Chain A
Amino acid sequence: MLRYALKRLLSLLISLAIASLVIFVVIEVAPGDPASFMLGINAQEDTLAALRAELGLDQTKVQRYLAWVGGMVQGDFGTSYQYRTPVAEMIGDRLWVSLPLALYALILSTLIAFPAGIFAASRRGKAGDIGVMGATQIGVAIPNFWFAMMLVLIFAINLRWFSAGGFAGWDSGAFAALKSLTLPAIALALPQAAILARVMRSALLDVLGEDFMRTARAKGLSRGQALRRHGLRNAMIPVLTILGLQFSFLLAGGIIIEQVFYLPGLGRLIFQSISARDLIVVESVTMLLVFAVIVVNFAVDLAYAAVDPRLRART
């Protein structure tokens, strides 16, 4: 187990190193000099040079890459060109919106998908199964930002149960904050729930064919009991994989949803920073998202190996 974990950790570090290099290169080749962008077209050449020196833009690319990566390892994400505040602080503030939103959506998605998938699997081929599967086909086809607009139309504009956008802030209490995240979380969760329900159903159906399920039935358990007691646990591996992947979808999907609801999260930070050529912020936020995805997948891999010894031997 330890050897497997170390091997996976090594490939995690290599992935992170390459990812940081790719992000740095992509953003470096971007047209537009942040200094001249900040000072406008009438700036004097010596003022520009001074600002470039202050921002560290006069160093070589290698020096700047190493400074960026070195800083991030120590929790220093650099200083925003635009606001002159530490990027780590800006990200920290925004994370308090984006992360709860992603988690909220993940919980909702699980709460919808698990019962739906189990229900469909237990009614295989019957009307209930066909109904759930038809609903998931439509759920997968719905763009989440469109669904978000429809939620706003129905629950904010017509019924006035929720506000149409904006974030109440955690200072105004957990209830108010969660309430302003509810519509965005539903919009994010539904298409993901559709995928998850399908995976849940097919994983359960695979397990149902196993010998130990027949044994469980032979011991006198009903189909439903056998499914809950023995089937579910064994079906969790593919379901966990998808859950891990969905976390990254939810973080990234949140970027668009934040636009719909005017939420001050990482997504809006990225868009604002791109248009202001605040490259250091764009670099760091992107790296943070990639980091989150890679680390979550790493954790999921380790979780499997801990649960299922067969996987350790295979790699």
Chain B
Amino acid sequence: MNRTLILGGALSALVVFAALVSFVWTPFEHTEMDIPAKLQPPNALHWFGTDHFGRDMFSMIMVGARTSIAVAVVAVGIGIGLGVPLGLWAAARQGGWVDEVIMRGNDLIFAFPSLVIAILITAIFGAGAVNAIIAIGIFNIPVFARVTRGGALPIWAREFIMAARVAGKGPARISIEHILPNIANLLIVQATIQFSLGILAEAALSYVGLGAQPPTPSWGRMLADAQTLVSIAPHMALVPGCAIIITVLGLNLLGDGLRDALDPRLRVARV
């Protein structure tokens, strides 16, 4: 076990744990307002302080973790669900027109500034968690398609694939039974990276008011609320900011650690 993996795993697990526990317990009801207790810095009663409505920020962070994770998980799911089959298909038809169309389409999506399009989609079809998920998910498709194709191509040249073809298996079956298991490591690592990017993107969209809508708590919106109050209540910005940083840092370290753990060859190459 390497230290990066352990640290990354621990940080990620902490966030997932907080999100899961929030379903059954939070110190306070996260929507409960207590105006006299507003803008309190962290103290024994309110561990992360209170916001401008006197809501308990620790509870809001816990529930907000659910939003961040849900958006990122589904967005990565969209990327894997559509991107991996496209990548496998492109690799199976390497050099053919299918390959060409898929890869050029990918290039095109890459050319769009993702944040601008995500803003456009959520602004036009309405702000909300679902549209944010779609907007982030679309940009995961070409990422997974490219990684899948890149990983699959060298495997198609291997002898055991030749054996499978001789045994009469078609390209679709070979892709699923032989190619996919061999690139699973690659996909897991990429999923971790996209997951952390999804968390950042969700925070950015929520920050400009295009992500999850009230009363659903989200870290990005907590930061937007904090903006005008940052001079009198810095903890309102520090707390959600640190939550985002810890989550993203944890996932990135987890991704790096997994890459090393799953593929010993890369460990040598990366030194």
A residues with CB within 8 A of B = 11, 14-15, 18-19, 22, 26-27, 29-31, 124-125, 137-138, 140-143, 145-146, 149-150, 152-153, 157, 202, 205, 248-249, 251-253, 255-256, 259-260, 270-271, 274-275, 282, 286, 289-290, 293-294, 297
Contact = CB atoms under 8 A, between A and B. Distances in A.
Contacts of B208: 256, 259, 271
SS of A interface (majority): helix
Q: Which 3 A-B pairs have the closest CB atoms?
A: A252-B113, A141-B248, A141-B249
Given A251-B113, A270-B116, A149 B226 contact: yes
Interface in B199-240: 200, 203-204, 207-208, 223, 226-227, 230-231, 234, 237, 240
Given A255-B115, A256-B207, 9 more contacts: A19-B112, A29-B124, A125-B271, A141-B244, A145-B223, A149-B241, A255-B119, A259-B208, A286-B117
B196 interface: yes
Given A142-B245, A146-B241, A297-B111, A30 B252 contact: no
The range of chain B's interface size is: 35 or more
Given A153-B231, A252-B116, A27 B241 contact: no
A149 B252 contact: no
A143 B111 contact: no
B270 interface: yes
Given A138-B245, A146-B244, A294-B111, A153 B124 contact: no
Given A15-B107, A15-B111, A290-B111, A146 B252 contact: no
Given A15-B107, A146-B241, A149-B226, A137 B115 contact: no
B10 interface: no
A289 B125 CA distance: 21
B253 interface: yes
B120 interface: yes
- Max chain B C-beta neighbours (<10 A), residue from A143, A153, A271, A275: A143
Interface in B229-267: 230-231, 234, 237, 240-241, 244-246, 248-249, 252-253
B226 A290 contact: no
A248 B113 contact: yes
B252 A140 contact: yes
Contacts of A256: 115, 204, 207-208
B207 A153 contact: no
B227 A149 contact: yes
Contacts of A275: 123
